[in-house]
Amino acid sequence: MVKYTIITVNQEENMRTYLVTGGAGFIGSNYIHYMFRKYDNEIRIINVDALTYAGNLENLKDIENRDNYTFVKADITDKDAITKIFEENDIDRVVHFAAESHVDRSIKNPEVFVKTNVLGTAVMLNCAKAAWELPDGSFKEGKKFLHVSTDEVYGSLPDDGKSYFYETTPYQPHSPYSASKASSDMLVKAYIDTYHFPANITNTSNNYGPYQFPEKLIPLIINNALHGKKLPVYGDGMNIRDWLYVDDHAKGIDMVQEQGRLFETYNVGGHNEKQNIEIIHIIIETLQEMLPDSDPRKSNVSKDLITYVEDRKGHDRRYAIAPDKIKAEIGWEPETMFKDGIKKTIAWYLEHEEWMQNVTSGDYQKYYEDMYQGK
């Protein structure tokens, strides 16, 4: 059984305690898996998640019974709940993933994004500051807050293949989602500048891999293709994104926490620029290659399913991160080529059909119909 209550941890000496927000989501759950693979029993993780539509405890089934893992169902905007966790546990690291993250949803309902992404970040910062600050205004040694953000805060790049997002690129968010993330980044920067609060920010490109909620492009296309459903493509399908395999991102986050210079921002990118339509073609070809002839789903997978739909409002044309700084200072670089990462990702979804069925039932189905029906 998952532990749902806040449990005071009898911390062994030298066992570092991580407070991970949004750890039941896509990137958060992959990060928790990565950390336990790397550190095993040397660390403790407390996972705080409100379990909204994209938070799924099935993502963490295989680690839920570990003695050094605790799940707390709480909203990051709930100051009392977050304060209680800090009061009852000596938190060494905060890794702040929790966020509303789907651009389409932000266009339909911006207020939810502002509440979770901006107010939620303010609550996390205030609670960590209260727990870690010493009477003289300095902070306890070894405490660190890592705010995980997105490359979408930088806006859109020219479609020239030459320009990139750097840490110095001015912010120019275009969607309610990216504006809320830019606001949360600015809050973290303000705490760094005002209080010398021990924090770092990472801005990452599009992640892909296991446990990704199927409203996002890659799992959506995999799932629809297997079921012979239309493959919706916004606009002309030529929008470019930089794709990063989620395990590579998890490794980058850990390296920034342990080796990054305090107060700095690091861009974490994949060097895998692809047009959306190109991604869809690669997925179709890879599925046709990987599915045995005996699998009845193989006959469903066809480029004829590609269906162009009305473009998303304010759809940025191109994102591309230059991860030069993180490579030079920390030695991180992406390890997974897209052709290998997409095969791993498809293999995972083929092996976890039940997971996909569970997450695509109910509320998601209603949302999907609302988004794409009749377009």
Active site amino acids: 151-152, 177
Q: Are 27 and 249 in contact (CB under 8 A)?
A: yes
Helix 217-226 and helix 276-290: axis angle, to 10°?
40
**Burial of 225 by CB count in 10 Å (0-12 exposed, 13-18 middle, 19+ buried)?**
buried
Alpha-carbon torsion (348, 350, 351, 354), positive or negative: positive
Q: Which amino acid, 4?
A: Y
Report the run of H or E that residue 355 belongs to, with start and end. helix 353-359
Q: Which residues, in sequence order, are bridge partners of residue 45?
A: 18, 69
- Cα(332)–Cα(326) distance, rounded to whole angstroms? 6
Q: In 3D, which of 242, 238, 106, 233 has the Cα closest to residue 181? A: 106
Both tokens assigned to 368: 């999907």
